[in-house]
Structure 1
Amino acid sequence: MMLRALALLMVVTCLPAVAGAVDRAAVETQYQRWLEQTVWPQARAKGVSRGTFERAFKGVTLNWKLPDLVPPGTQARTPEDQFQAEFGSPARYFGGNKLESATSVGRVMAKRYAGVLAAAEAATGVPGRIVLAVWGRESGYGRVAIKYDAFEVLGTKGFMSTRAGYFTEELIAALQIAEAGHAPGGGMKSSWAGALGQPQFMPSRYLQFATDGDGDGKADIWNSEADTIASIARYLEHFGWVPGRDWGFEVRVPASVSCALEGPDQGRPIADWAEMGVTRVSGRPFPEHELRGEGYLMMPAGRKGPAFIVTPNFYVLKKYNESDLYALFVGHVGDRIQYGMKDFRGDWGRVGGLKRSDVAAMQRALVDMGHDVGGADGLAGFKTRRSIGRWQAEAGSAQTCFPEASMKKALVR
């Protein structure tokens, strides 16, 4: 349905392969020692009282079902193990009723909270439709249950995960939130990754961006829709949302324009893209006020899917979630909420079906040829997509700018 469903699937499919060989009782003892000797001194230094610390961890034990755990005495899974999941078509991100559900409920929320949304936009410059789309994507407008104990999640991942240092810092931030009395009386609930409330802020982000939108003196992102709206808007404002500019436009890219021109480091005025023959699928011209602004080619499935000219605001959305598809989903849902837009005009071709290990092998081969793929992680980001396009051009092949099974034999020797 939403990111939460994908997260729950990840929890089920990413159980630590080594857990069965671990003496869990011994690890629990080490965990309690770590809380006392490592976490408590750091929390105390940040102003957390002993009472808050003890209440937070009363009855809390390790959660062995979380993904990416590395218990003491074991090693993290190798990249080859991690890359066995299927690398699917980007179309899956927009499949089912995800778009329609986010849109229909978003329109209801737009009417219900029109005044709050208008106030947030006046204060930050972030359009209400964008705030709504983020809210819908993160927590289904507050309808998705947030059921994990934040201290259990953050404690477990801070003690034994592949990003232990990061989660330990977030655990300390969560204790600061509890010390200040911001969390609701029922306890601090989070996602499986430790993200809090309806906007799904990590605790450090809460401390930075949580905002009182209803004037009651609290920033309650768990129960207050007004606070949620104000907090999301403030977050996007902080990361550079440009008032008055759109997030992007679906376009047609002629064969004369290389798909290898994709990326935020290859921007040019939107007027220049228009002169190169890039046109909006709607048939309307680019807005006059956008022509002088910088735009960037974005082709999430290469030549096998819809294409876009996006603005700097698209990359502000990626500050919420680094996925191109996430930012595209949010921008598109916002447009559907406000303007009644339908599905993208461009068809998603039959791409994907590879293992992430296959994509990673292709990436390593491209790196050996001197291409910058942005890391051999088994995911086809814009650097990988355009590197494929450049390799295809060098080989005299038609540019598709997306990994396909037929390429593996040619690339990986």
Structure 2
Amino acid sequence: MTRRIHIVIVALLLCVVLGQWPRAAAAADAGFNGFLASMWPQARDAGISRATFEAITAGLEPDYKLPDLILPGRPKTGAPSQAEFVQVPADYLKETTISRLASYGQRLLQQHRATLDRIERQFGVPATVVLAIWGRETDFGRYRLPYDLMRVLATQAYVGRRKEQYQVEFIEAMKIVQEGHAARGNLRSSWAGATGLTQFLPSEFYKHGVDFDGDGRIDIWHSVPDALASAAQQLANKGWQSGVRWAYEVRAPANVDCTLGVPEVSRPIGEWLRQGFVPVRGQRLSAAEQAQPASLLQPEGIYGPSFLTTKNYFVIKEYNFSDLYVLFVGHVADRIRDPQPFATPWAATTQLRSKDVEAMQRHLTRLGLYADKLDGKAGMQTRAALGAYQKAAGLKVDCWPSVSVLQALQRAR
């Protein structure tokens, strides 16, 4: 009898759930359809024809499985844990991946030599750098982006955490279709709406896109010349300095103050050298190179490699705001020319979970040592603030977020 009652209860619950779900889904879709309709005046003012608008929005459905959404009745979801922010350098910068991309990049350097030489002359960005970006973003075009661009942009514009930004991107994507740069069915993207061989948001397409093959349209989805020239123009527009390296790997002195590893502390490279930093492998820097301003970067605190980063390092960082991303791109670019890996191996460090790093940031903010975003990412500012706390607390100063330091911060509270 008890078993029969249990079965009946389960069946009733299923009926309730299955009976309510279609109504809830329909209500949600009705809201989405109403939102799409509300976008027409903004699209019209941007020059989108009614025919284009109807063709793109007809039958369009939201994707509520995307990250970075705010959905009624559900907790806010942040961006997914991108590898750039949750992996230790040794995992993100895997030698097998680096060497594979560098090897393939060497072949592409020869295959597209004429185009890459033209790009370098016109924009001042080395061929190896744009090749490395292409490799990192889509594995030189061999990785198929998994999402429908229009669906992503419309969903993010409707219930994303950055609605206003994505409403603009949605309309810019309509312009891409209307102007014939790409067919609607070819527009694949990442979960965040980046599209093409070198992954541009639609607004970036219009800011930096280049018709480099001269066929009358900008095609960053299929045309290698257009995609690579567009990536180069984006870097140039953001301030790339021709003839300047992205960074120099150095050996730090034993008494290095890792709290100096922030962009605000910038000194001529020659001054860093006089303070005991030594270029690896006996590399000699010219007087012009030593005069360049640079900042210290120690991605694992006092552990692992150290770098003196130039203006161009931070230009690449505007492409993707992650130190590990820049190190990946910069190192692949170097390896296309020279097969040598980093001179100093990455240390066997562990990475705290994002929620623990965010807890650490909260403690450091309360102590007046940290004034940046509470984002759970152990970036430059977080590592420097952590080092400042370690100094004040009489702990070992290594500028690396660990369980022991988090526990010390919690006890101090």
Same fold (TM over 0.5): yes
Q: Counterparts of 1:336-375 in structure 2 under 5 Å?
A: 336-338=335-337, 340-372=338-370, 374-375=372-373
The residue aligned with 2:28 is: 27
1:288 matched to 2:312? The reply is no
Residue 342 and residue 25 in structure 1: after superposition, are their counterparts in 2 closer, same or farther (change >3 A)?
farther
Distance in structure 1 (CA, Å) of the matches to 2:22 and 2:267: 55
1:138 matched to 2:123? The reply is no
Distance in structure 1 (CA, Å) of the matches to 2:256 and 2:193: 43
Residue 33 and residue 380 in structure 1: after superposition, are their counterparts in 2 closer, same or farther (change >3 A)?
same
The residue aligned with 2:59 is: 59
**Bigger Cα displacement from structure 2, 286-295 vs 240-249:** 286-295
Q: Counterparts of 1:225-236 in structure 2 under 5 Å?
A: 225-236=224-235
Residue 147 and residue 404 in structure 1: after superposition, are their counterparts in 2 closer, same or farther (change >3 A)?
closer
Structure 1: 5+ residue stretches without partners: 1-19
Contact 2:351 2:401 in 1 (8 A): no
Residue 78 and residue 21 in structure 1: after superposition, are their counterparts in 2 closer, same or farther (change >3 A)?
farther
Distance in structure 2 (CA, Å) of the matches to 1:56 and 1:100: 42
1:387 matched to 2:385? The reply is yes
Contact 1:336 1:342 in 2 (8 A): yes
Distance in structure 1 (CA, Å) of the matches to 2:168 and 2:91: 34
Q: CA deviation at 1:407?
A: 0.8
Secondary structure of 1:97's match?
A: helix
Contact 1:22 1:71 in 2 (8 A): no
Q: CA deviation at 1:96?
A: 5.8
One-letter amino acid matched to 1:180: E
1:202 matched to 2:166? The reply is no
Contact 1:257 1:276 in 2 (8 A): no
Residue 101 and residue 207 in structure 1: after superposition, are their counterparts in 2 closer, same or farther (change >3 A)?
same
The residue aligned with 2:9 is: none
Q: CA deviation at 1:398?
A: 2.7
One-letter amino acid matched to 1:27: A
Residue 32 and residue 316 in structure 1: after superposition, are their counterparts in 2 closer, same or farther (change >3 A)?
same
The residue aligned with 1:300 is: 299
Q: CA deviation at 1:242?
A: 0.4
**Bigger Cα displacement from structure 2, 127-136 vs 63-72:** 63-72
Secondary structure of 1:212's match?
A: coil
| Identity %, equivalent residues | 39
1:43 matched to 2:53? The reply is no
1:71 matched to 2:71? The reply is yes
Q: CA deviation at 1:252?
A: 0.6
Choose between structure 1 and 2: higher helix proportion: 2
Q: CA RMSD in A?
A: 2.2
Q: CA deviation at 1:90?
A: 2.3
Residue 62 and residue 201 in structure 1: after superposition, are their counterparts in 2 closer, same or farther (change >3 A)?
same
One-letter amino acid matched to 1:381: G
Residue 52 and residue 187 in structure 1: after superposition, are their counterparts in 2 closer, same or farther (change >3 A)?
farther
Deviations along 1:204-255, one digit per CA (max 9) or x if unpaired, are 0001111011111111011101111111111100000000110011111112
Distance in structure 1 (CA, Å) of the matches to 2:375 and 2:190: 24
Q: CA deviation at 1:73?
A: 5.5
Q: CA deviation at 1:185?
A: 6.5
Larger CA Rg, structure 1 vs 2: 2
Contact 1:27 1:72 in 2 (8 A): no
Aligned length: 389
Distance in structure 2 (CA, Å) of the matches to 1:259 and 1:238: 32
Q: CA deviation at 1:77?
A: 4.4
Deviations along 1:154-204, one digit per CA (max 9) or x if unpaired, are 011111112222111110111111121111364422222211110100000
Contact 1:392 1:398 in 2 (8 A): yes
Deviations along 1:259-299, one digit per CA (max 9) or x if unpaired, are 11111110000000000010112121223321111011001
Secondary structure of 2:282's match?
A: coil
Contact 2:177 2:184 in 1 (8 A): no
Secondary structure of 1:354's match?
A: coil
Distance in structure 1 (CA, Å) of the matches to 2:305 and 2:216: 45
1:150 matched to 2:143? The reply is no
Distance in structure 1 (CA, Å) of the matches to 2:142 and 2:58: 28
Q: CA deviation at 1:147?
A: 4.1
Distance in structure 2 (CA, Å) of the matches to 1:304 and 1:354: 16
Residue 210 and residue 276 in structure 1: after superposition, are their counterparts in 2 closer, same or farther (change >3 A)?
same
Distance in structure 1 (CA, Å) of the matches to 2:100 and 2:69: 34
Secondary structure of 2:234's match?
A: helix
| TM-score computed with the length of structure 1 as normaliser | 0.89
Q: CA deviation at 1:67?
A: 1.1
Structure 2: 5+ residue stretches without partners: 1-20
Q: CA deviation at 1:153?
A: 0.8
Q: Counterparts of 1:186-197 in structure 2 under 5 Å?
A: 186-197=185-196
Deviations along 1:55-81, one digit per CA (max 9) or x if unpaired, are 1123221112211222245552499x9
Distance in structure 1 (CA, Å) of the matches to 2:161 and 2:78: 11
| TM-score computed with the length of structure 2 as normaliser | 0.89
The residue aligned with 1:269 is: 268
**Bigger Cα displacement from structure 2, 229-238 vs 68-77:** 68-77
Distance in structure 2 (CA, Å) of the matches to 1:394 and 1:21: 58
